[in-house]
Chain A
């Protein structure tokens, strides 16, 4: 295992893009974890008003400037990482937890089960995800939890598709037949052969989806359908900051830059993982 791990690190370190992805993801995760203890103005997290300091440009006291009610943007952007990361990971994990078992089941069993699962999936995939999510939030009511529920509901079909196609192709591999000849049960074949061999594209997709989910949550926040102010959420912050462009540019730029960095980081990480997880790149 040690050898494999070192090899994985070495493979990653050869690619600048993967290293950048890891650096970005690690920084954002670190910020999210230790945020409450390092932010300069912890009492600005929950909201409040300090009109004397409103819309201050970046300075030594406020590195990223202040917003329209005088709150420190650096503080709120760092705390915003917690919200975005948590929501992005939760959406992706939940969507995968729903989609992957359904997909593998569909691919392995075939027949009417597969038809039922795949047609339902097609139904969801036929509507643009964000549009459907907007409609769902509108029905459920705005708020971060409802935004998450809506995004999970539009996100799982992608996992069904991917898991189904992998299971379908793996099902007809001769090594599955070899396992059957050896007397392996269906459960064992699923667990030992089908799942491990379909995992790597799923992990790659999950890594990239965390970035996409962060973007989607920010989009809903921007539209006023996600987190409500004063919750420090990047999309919601940009939504307000939009009205203060271009004179008070720092208000929109810094949350925007964090969204950009988070999405880019998870995408690059996904690309790097794809290279590592291919068993054929595992030369030693």
Chain B
């Protein structure tokens, strides 16, 4: 296993103010993630379900509340930053918004060279070949981020992430900020790079079609928990959890009136008792209102699907 994380939790404590009582928000509430070398796991769910928090936990960018992370078989849960640094080369992140992920004062060449410099490599010669690998011509070297289109910026970000020859790429909605026409090109580039370099992807998205195209495995998150997990074709082809069913039904399709998820995601600071999805679940029964849902078993965490 390239990445193996168990029992990941991230709880934020909000301080009491004059208008609000102190509360604890569980952004990620007990998630297990496993990713094989070269594998691709999609992570889907609504905004605010903890997908991005999970990505940052796995990269040790924010402190964990509980859980354990093994990367390349090594426990990195409590590794100090200095010891983590050499490992960072092999786990990289692609941001959702490439415009914000590039320092506006650095040229493309400086952006791509920075990770190489940090890790003590000579960036000469390698920057241009990295740009070529992501499909950017050499005359982009001396351009600045504001001179590039969204797709070009995302390519620069990908080149920066590839500079240190990572094994794992965590992609946090890498195409959702791009034009639809550009999305396909970037996805194609990513798929090609994955095949060539044998990269493993943790692909965060709320676009089920994209996940189906890119990934072999998928995990569906709801309110900080994985509610269904398994091979893409099985989960998206024959969803067992009512939430996954609702997600699939909410994908707009011509001529089909799908079951739409009713209401909004509950406030994570005050999750409903029982199964957190029951207020929006069409098939909720007494058990769902009272007891918490069973742990993920056979790929699904639902009272009714066992």
Chain A residues engaging chain B, CB cutoff 8 angstroms: 173-175, 177-185, 188, 192-193, 196-197, 279-280, 282-284
Could you say which residues of chain B place their CB within 8 Å of the CB of A178? 93, 95, 101-102, 157, 160
A77 to chain B, nearest CB (A): 41
B122 to chain A, nearest CB (A): 16
**CB atoms of B100 and A173 under 8 A apart:** yes
Could you say which residues of chain B place their CB within 8 Å of the CB of A284? 147
Q: Is residue B152 contacting chain A, with contact meaning CB distance below 8 A?
A: no
4 shortest A-B CB distances, which residue pairs? A182-B115, A183-B88, A183-B85, A174-B101
**CB atoms of A280 and B95 under 8 A apart:** no
**CB atoms of A184 and B101 under 8 A apart:** no
B163 to chain A, nearest CB (A): 8
**CB atoms of A282 and B88 under 8 A apart:** no
Q: Is residue B32 contacting chain A, with contact meaning CB distance below 8 A?
A: no
- B156-181 interface with A by 8 A CB criterion: 157, 160-161, 164
B161 to chain A, nearest CB (A): 8
Could you say which residues of chain B place their CB within 8 Å of the CB of A180? 61
**CB atoms of B88 and A177 under 8 A apart:** no
Closest to B116 in A: A182
Give 1 or 0 for each of B178-195: 1 = CB within 8 Å of chain A CB: 000000000000000000
Closest to A178 in B: B101
- Knowing A175-B102, A196-B105, A279-B146, the reply to whether A181 touches B118 (Cβ < 8 A) is no
**CB atoms of B95 and A174 under 8 A apart:** yes
Could you say which residues of chain A place their CB within 8 Å of the CB of B100? 173-175
Cβ 8 A contact of B61, one of A175, A177, A188, A192 = A177
* Total chain B interface residues with beta-carbon distance under 8 A: 31
Cβ 8 A contact of A174, one of B89, B97, B118 = B97
Closest to A184 in B: B118
Q: Is residue B197 contacting chain A, with contact meaning CB distance below 8 A?
A: no
Q: Apart from A173-B100, A177-B93, A196-B105, what are 19 other A-B pairs with CB-CB below 8 Å? A: A174-B97, A175-B100, A175-B102, A178-B101, A178-B157, A180-B61, A182-B88, A182-B115, A182-B160, A182-B164, A183-B86, A183-B115, A185-B81, A188-B118, A192-B103, A192-B114, A197-B104, A279-B105, A279-B146
Q: Is residue B27 contacting chain A, with contact meaning CB distance below 8 A?
A: no
- B51-97 interface with A by 8 A CB criterion: 56, 59, 61, 81, 84-86, 88-89, 91-93, 95, 97
A208 to chain B, nearest CB (A): 22
- Knowing A174-B95, A178-B95, A279-B146, the reply to whether A183 touches B89 (Cβ < 8 A) is yes
Could you say which residues of chain A place their CB within 8 Å of the CB of B104? 197, 279-280
Distance, CA A174 to CA B94, complexed state (A): 10
Could you say which residues of chain A place their CB within 8 Å of the CB of B140? none
Distance, CA A174 to CA B102, complexed state (A): 8
Q: Is residue B119 contacting chain A, with contact meaning CB distance below 8 A?
A: yes
Cβ 8 A contact of A182, one of B56, B86, B114, B147 = B114
- Knowing A174-B95, A177-B93, A184-B118, the reply to whether A282 touches B144 (Cβ < 8 A) is yes
Could you say which residues of chain B place their CB within 8 Å of the CB of A279? 104-105, 144, 146
- Knowing A174-B97, A282-B144, the reply to whether A181 touches B59 (Cβ < 8 A) is yes
Listed residue (B95, B114, B144, B147) with the most chain A CB atoms within 10 angstroms of its CB? B114
Distance, CA A182 to CA B90, complexed state (A): 9
Distance, CA A283 to CA B143, complexed state (A): 10
Closest to B88 in A: A183
Closest to B119 in A: A183
Could you say which residues of chain A place their CB within 8 Å of the CB of B157? 178
Could you say which residues of chain B place their CB within 8 Å of the CB of A188? 118
